[in-house]
Every structure is written in structure tokens, then in C-alpha cells.
């Protein structure tokens, strides 16, 4: 059975992808950053399976800045597929830590590509790119040929990495692909992203555990899908006969207000009674109407997003209600 290596294995996407690959019979290796906190909550279910951990699933410590260790891991694991999901993924935070963001997200990807160039056995490579590369596009929906116009440090770092992946594919013949993913959410989403912040607050307010919710701009429009479906698209990309880039999205734009409305409706509340705007959460610059055209993925990968915002919000609120009542 094939072997996969995943950077960012402990994140939302990394954990869903690991489950998908384990169920398909892969051996999965994951790269994790060393820290004093060893909790890997999203992978807990797999860790506690004696038939999986250290048999089908292996973890290795390395930092994206540590090329020597990453090269050593690649030579040891000899993966057939490499999924590069790691990076500083919070767009708002990228204004506070632009150097770290560019080092991990942009240079981290280039370092990986440079290592791959030298390998005798080159794995198929997937880089998780982002709708943030389009920033303020001049048309909607965006597709694989839409010009990049990033307006955040994160978006600029992702644009660099995305172009490097395409360049290494064209110049050095690497099987290297960009999954240009629009926002994808789940109960495993970090609590500082707007969807999870909203669903957690809706649940907590309905239980009397929180009084209000402070947010930044409510004007932005995003294309929100369900994360487990997005990792399936990533896997399908690496099974294609040729490496290519794909937009992975639902094709539907929603405002933050729409997501608020769907989430608070799931607990029979009206969001306008609880939400206040706070300048602390406003960004110096914002992507505007980011909505993807997934028709290439639909046609070539036979992939279509199934879960849309109203159901997604409900799934996340239900999960937060259960978590808060534990």
C-alpha cells in the first residue's frame, strides 16, 4: 500500500486527511513541530488505536525551517505522496507576524521543493494554496486562471508558494499541484477563525455561559465548505495522471452575517441581539468577495462540495453544544 507524508498533520485538515488515508490502507507519516505541549487532540482517536499508532501512523519532529531534518525524514520514509499543509494559517495574525508567516508559508514551501528536486524517488506533491491569493479579484467566481492580487501578508506568502509549485512542476518536472482551497470549516476548526468563534459563541450564549460576541468586519464574503470533503479533493488530485492546479470550493458566497444568522438560528436565537463589533478584530486590509468556481474539480476529479453553509453551521453548533455540556 502507498505511503504518505503530511506536514501539518495535527491541524484540522491534517487530521481529516490522516483518517482518510488510514481508511484507504496507507501508511501515514506526519511531521510535527516540537513543543512542550504534547496534546494532539485532533489525532486522539487514532493515537488510541493499538492497530494504528506506530503501526500505520508515525510522527516525526521537524520544523519547516529545518531542511536537514526534513530531508532525512523524506529519505527514511520514501513517501509516494507528500501533502504540504503546514504553515501559519491565520490571515489576521499575518499582519502581526509577517516575517514568520512568510518564512513558514512561502519559504517553507520553497525549501520542500528544493529537497524534492534532489531526491531519487520524488513523491507526488500537493501544496495547500488559498483563495487569499486572489485578494481583491475583479471578477466572481474565481478560477485557476484568475490573476493573483493578494492583499494580506498571508495571501502574498501563499501567492509566492503557489507560483513556486507551478514553476517547479514546469521547470523541473516535479509532480507538484496546488489545491487552491477556499475556506473550509468543521468542528475541528481553531476557535480564532470566524466560523468556529461564531458557532462556539452561539452554543455558549444559548447555554447561558457567554453574554455577547465581539467580531471584526461583517462585510467580507467567503465561500465556506466542509473540511473532510476538501481533503478528499486533495487526495483525488494526487491520483490524476498529470499534475495540475485545482480550485476547491462550493461555488457559493456568503457573508459573515449569513453565517451568524445560520448559527444562531440553530439555537433559536437572533444574532443581532448579541453581536458587537470590536476594532481589535478589524484587519488593516481584507480580501473582498472570495468565491470559487469549482467546475474544473467537478469535471476532472468528479468532486463536488456537498455540505453548504446552513448545514455546516448546524453541524458545528451541535458539536459545540456537546463539547460545552461535557
Nearer to ligand G4F, 216 or 310 (CB): 216
Binds ligand G4F by CB under 6 A, chosen from 17, 86, 194, 253: 194
CB 266 within 8 A of CB 314: yes
Residue whose CB is less far from ligand G4F, 53 or 95: 95
CB of 53 or CB of 193, closer to ligand G4F = 193
**Residue 256 is a binding residue for ligand G4F (CB under 6 A):** yes
CB count within 10 Å of CB 139 equals 11
Q: Kindly report the CA angle at 293 between 288 and 294, in degrees rounded to 5?
A: 135
Task: Check 130, 206, 261, 263 and give the catalytic one.
Answer: 130
One of 30, 123, 187, 220 touching ligand G4F (CB under 6 A): 220
- C-alpha span between 146 and 38 (Å, rounded): 41
Among 7, 10, 131, 319, binds ligand G4F (CB under 6 A): 131
The DSSP string of 198-209 is: HHHHHHHHHTTS
User: Does residue 305 bind ligand G4F (CB under 6 A)?
Assistant: no
Site for ligand G4F in 261-290 (CB under 6 A): 281, 283, 286
Per rule CB under 6 A, is residue 248 in the interface with ligand G4F? no
Contact call for residues 201 and 243 (beta carbons, < 8 A): no
Radius of gyration over every alpha carbon of the chain, rounded to an integer in angstroms? 19
**Number of neighbours of residue 306 by Cβ within 10 angstroms:** 11
Rule CB under 6 A: say whether 103 interacts with ligand G4F. Answer: no
Backbone torsion region of residue 44, taken as left when φ is above 0, otherwise alpha when ψ lies between -120 and 50, otherwise beta = alpha
Active site residues per annotation: 130, 132, 154
Residues near ligand G4F (CB under 6 A): 89, 91-92, 130-132, 181-183, 192-195, 197, 215-217, 220, 222, 256, 281, 283, 286
Amino acid at each position: 500500500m502507498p505511503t504518505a507524508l503530511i506536514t501539518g498533520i495535527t491541524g484540522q485538515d491534517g487530521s481529516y486527511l490522516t483518517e482518510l488515508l488510514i481508511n484507504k490502507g496507507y501508511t501515514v507519516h506526519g511531521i510535527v513541530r516540537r513543543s512542550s505541549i504534547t496534546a494532539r487532540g485532533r489525532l486522539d482517536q487514532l493515537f488510541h488505536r493499538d492497530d494504528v499508532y506506530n503501526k500505520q501512523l508515525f510522527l516525526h519532529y521537524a520544523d519547516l525551517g529545518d531542511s536537514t531534518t526534513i530531508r532525512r525524514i523524506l529519505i527514511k520514509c520514501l513517501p509516494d505522496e507528500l501533502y504540504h499543509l503546514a504553515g501559519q494559517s491565520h490571515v489576521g495574525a499575518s499582519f502581526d507576524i509577517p516575517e514568520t508567516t512568510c518564512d513558514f508559508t512561502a519559504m517553507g514551501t520553497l525549501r520542500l521543493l528544493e529537497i524534492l528536486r534532489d531526491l531519487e524517488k520524488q513523491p507526488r506533491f500537493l501544496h495547500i494554496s488559498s483563495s487569499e491569493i486572489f485578494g481583491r479579484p475583479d471578477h466572481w467566481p474565481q478560477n485557476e486562471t484568475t490573476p493573483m492580487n493578494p492583499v494580506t501578508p498571508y495571501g502574498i506568502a501563499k501567492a509566492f508558494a503557489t507560483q513556486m509549485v507551478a514553476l517547479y512542476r514546469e521547470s523541473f518536472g516535479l509532480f507538484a499541484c496546488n489545491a487552491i482551497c477556499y475556506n473550509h470549516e468543521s468542528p475541528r476548526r481553531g476557535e480564532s477563525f470566524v466560523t468556529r468563534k461564531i458557532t462556539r459563541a452561539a452554543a455558549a450564549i444559548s447555554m447561558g455561559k457567554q453574554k455577547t460576541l465581539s467580531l471584526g468586519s461583517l462585510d467580507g464574503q467567503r465561500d465556506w465548505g466542509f473540511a473532510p470533503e476538501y481533503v478528499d479533493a486533495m487526495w483525488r488530485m494526487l491520483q490524476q495522471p498529470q499534475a495540475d492546479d485545482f480550485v476547491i470550493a462550493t461555488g457559493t458566497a456568503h457573508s459573515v452575517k449569513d453565517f451568524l444568522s445560520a448559527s444562531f438560528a440553530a439555537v433559536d436565537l437572533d444574532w443581532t441581539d448579541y453581536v458587537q463589533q470590536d476594532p481589535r478584530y478589524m484587519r488593516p486590509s481584507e480580501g473582498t468577495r472570495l468565491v470559487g468556481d469549482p467546475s474544473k474539480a467537478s469535471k476532472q476529479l468528479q468532486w463536488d462540495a456537498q455540505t453548504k453553509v446552513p448545514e455546516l453551521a448546524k453541524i458545528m453548533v451541535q458539536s459545540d453544544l456537546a463539547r460545552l455540556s461535557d
